[in-house]
A and B are shown apart, each in its own frame.
Chain A
Amino acid sequence: MTETIELALKTLEAQLNQPLETALEACARCGICAEACHYYRAEPKVEHIPAYRAEQLRNVYRYEHDFISRLFPVWTRAKKLDETTLANLTEIAFSQCTLCRRCTVNCPLGVDTPLMMRAIRAMATAAGTAPEILIMLADAAIEKGKDPSFYKEMFLEQIADMEKQLRDITGDENATIPVEKQGAKILYVPLAGAHTILPPAVVFNAAQEDWTLSIFEASNYGVFLADVNRAKQVAKRIVDEANRLGVEEIVISECGHAYACYRWDVPNWFAGQFDFKVRSLIEVLAGYISDGKIKVDPTAIPGSVTYHDSCNLARNGGLLEEPRYVLKSIVRDFREMTPNKAEALCCGGGGGIVALAEYAERRIAAGKPKADQIKSTGARTVVAACENCRLQIGDLNEHYNLNIHVTALTDLVVQAMRLPKPLPGMEAEHLFEGEQVEVPR
């Protein structure tokens, strides 16, 4: 047995717990999960059936754990793990499953296929066959946590520039973007990039919130690798920061996997050191609107708008009504996709796949059902509260000529606040371009 295979099998063994064992043992082979998966909907072939994917791991598991299978593998289709099988498993888990869990919620037995795909991702990471880009992105984030001083000065310069923009947009000379503010109530964790800092800063200032910006970003590529060790190191930067500053809660930017990670995993990983409430920025927006802490014009968005439920926020995170409440407070023509909420179709961009250029073609093909769904609403603006989804829907827009405008929820809220100046890229003539609507003002 080569070292690679040994590492992969060791990782599988280490991960075996009751939920994974159940997933590996239970499947009625009814095929109901096929239609649940956007890959199968886009291209109905056997390789795209979730149960088929899971079966590839089951074959290996059977060989290792079933006495009869080891003696007579042909009888049970058991398979000894070798380099080719590992390469095949790796490809399945990283390019043909976005870990969206739609198959699980539609399976009569609740078989957790993504849990098995995660087990493969972990095996591949340990064995060195996982996509190196994801490893590199996770490692770069860990590096930032070790010694932020090497980029902090430049980061602060950026924030100072953004603060000028913020004052310009809001017309408020006192508007600020506090960084590392001791004792702030909220630690807001953005993604890298001004587009996830400036709009929330507008909102926090208007709500007169006691907040501070994190010097780290929320995304966690360790999660996509199913590498708990790396994922914990990435998350630790923010846990330490929150403890250091003594904040009450952590608010996560519009990002699906980061929200799910900080909401569900981090409190367990850091039990005893994690006494924070975790909310998504979406919940914060809904709260500010309902409490009247920010004023929005209910007629501000006259164009047609639809909302894409990110799998991690909706199905896995339970944020179903909050984004709709926000949108219905500002949009005149809101249109639902069908199906939606917990049953929403994945856009095809989850699971870290948008960062893997080698699988771009597959990703775009798997996004066809989402593109069709968007098209059938006829809406011209698509709101997605997750960066991965926005990137993917932007690509679907180009590829399938959807003629839409893709935006974040916060950006639309800022637009509805009717401030002296719009956010960059959110000018009314751009947002409602080609729509027969009466643009306010």
Chain B
Amino acid sequence: MTETPKLTLDFKGLLCPMPVVKIAQAIKQVQVGELIEAIATDPGVMADIPAWARSTGHELVTLEKQDKIFKFVVKRLK
């Protein structure tokens, strides 16, 4: 069964570093083990979100490009 994200966020139009700033704020609003999904339009997220997840110890569950939108799901791990 696929887990349902606890939060769905829209970062369309936000430029670096704002998507990272926003996801870092949002991660505190969910419990450990819960998911957040977000969409962004800035291609910078393709490198920044994985780097953020690695350096903060959260899990990047998926990150994909759909047409001009970047969609990603992160899981709070701590």
Interface residues of A (CB under 8 A from B): 132-133, 136-137, 139-144, 150-151, 154-155, 157-158, 161-162, 191-195, 217, 219, 221, 355, 357, 387, 391
Q: Which secondary structure characterizes the binding site on chain B?
A: helix
With contacts A217-B16, A221-B17 known, what are 5 further pairs, Cβ within 8 A?
A132-B24, A139-B56, A151-B46, A192-B16, A219-B17
Per the 8 Å Cβ criterion, residues 16-52 of B in contact with A are 16-18, 20-21, 24-25, 42-44, 46-48, 50-52
Q: List 27 A-B contacts (CB under 8 A).
A: A132-B24, A133-B24, A136-B24, A136-B52, A137-B20, A139-B55, A139-B56, A140-B48, A140-B54, A140-B56, A141-B51, A144-B51, A150-B54, A151-B46, A154-B47, A157-B46, A191-B16, A193-B16, A193-B42, A194-B42, A194-B43, A194-B44, A195-B15, A217-B16, A219-B16, A355-B21, A391-B15
Contacts of A132 in B (CB 8 A): 24
Residues of chain B lying within 8 A (CB to CB) of residue A157: 46, 65
Task: Return the contact of A154 from the options B25, B42, B54, B63 (Cβ within 8 A).
Answer: B63
* A-B complex: 6 closest residue pairs judged by Cβ atoms: A192-B44, A192-B16, A193-B44, A143-B55, A140-B51, A151-B47
How far in angstroms is the closest Cβ of chain B from A279? 22
Instruction: Decide if the interface of chain A is mainly helix, strand, loop or mixed.
Output: helix
Inter-chain contacts of B51 with A (CB < 8 A): 140-141, 143-144, 150-151
Of chain B, the residue at the smallest CB distance from A391 is B15
Is A193 in contact with B43, judged by CB distance below 8 angstroms? yes
List of A residues within 8 angstroms of B48 by Cβ: 140, 192
A193 with B15: CB separation less than 8 A: yes
A150/B50 contact (C-beta < 8 A), A133-B24, A357-B21 known: yes
Which of B18, B42, B55, B63 sits near A140, CB closer than 8 Å? B55
Q: Judging by beta carbons under 8 Å apart, are A158 and B20 in contact?
A: no
Chain B contacts for A221, CB-based, 8 A? 17
Q: Would B43 and A143 count as touching, CB distance under 8 A?
A: no
Kindly state the separation between the CA atoms of A140 and B63 in the bound complex, as whole angstroms.
17
The smallest C-beta distance from B21 to any residue of chain A, in angstroms, reads: 5
Name the distance in Å between A229's Cβ and chain B's nearest Cβ. 15
A151 to B52, CA, bound (A): 12
Residues in chain A near residue B65, CB distance under 8 A: 154, 157
**Shortest Cβ distance from A287 into chain B, in angstroms?**
27
Chain B's nearest CB lies how many Å from the CB of A283?
A: 23
Given A140-B52, A192-B42, A387-B15, CB of A155 within 8 Å of CB of B24:
no
